[in-house]
Structure 1
Amino acid sequence: MNTANLQLEGVYLVLTALLEAVVAKGLLEKAELITLLSGVERGIAADPSRPVEIRDSNVEAVKFPARFLASALRASSDGRKPSFAEIVALIREIRSPQERALG
Structure 2
Amino acid sequence: MRSQATEVELNTANLQLEGFIMAVAALSDMLVAKGVVTHQELSAALGQAERAVEQDDEHDLSDSNRAATLFPIRVLLLANEASQRGKKFAFSDYAELVGRLT
| Cα deviation code 1:18-61 (max 9, x no counterpart) | 0001100111110110111011011011113113xx31110110
Question: What is the aligned-residue RMSD (CA, Å)?
Answer: 1.3
Runs of 4+ in 1 over 4 A off after TM superposition: none
The separation in 2 between residues aligned to 1:78 and 1:45, in whole angstroms, is 27
Structure 1: tracts of 5 or more residues without a match: 96-103
Give how far 1:76 is off.
Answer: 1.9
- Separation in structure 1 between the aligned mates of residue 100 and residue 48 of structure 2, nearest angstrom: 20
Give the number of equivalent residue pairs. 93
- Matched residues, percent identical? 39
Aligned to 1:9: 18
Following TM superposition, by how much is the alpha carbon of 1:93 offset from its aligned partner in structure 2, in angstroms?
2.9
Bigger CA radius of gyration: 2
Give unpaired runs (5+ residues) of structure 2: 1-9
CA contact (8 A) 1:16 1:73 kept: yes
Question: TM (normalized to structure 1)?
Answer: 0.83
Q: What is the TM-score when the length of structure 2 is the normalising length?
A: 0.84
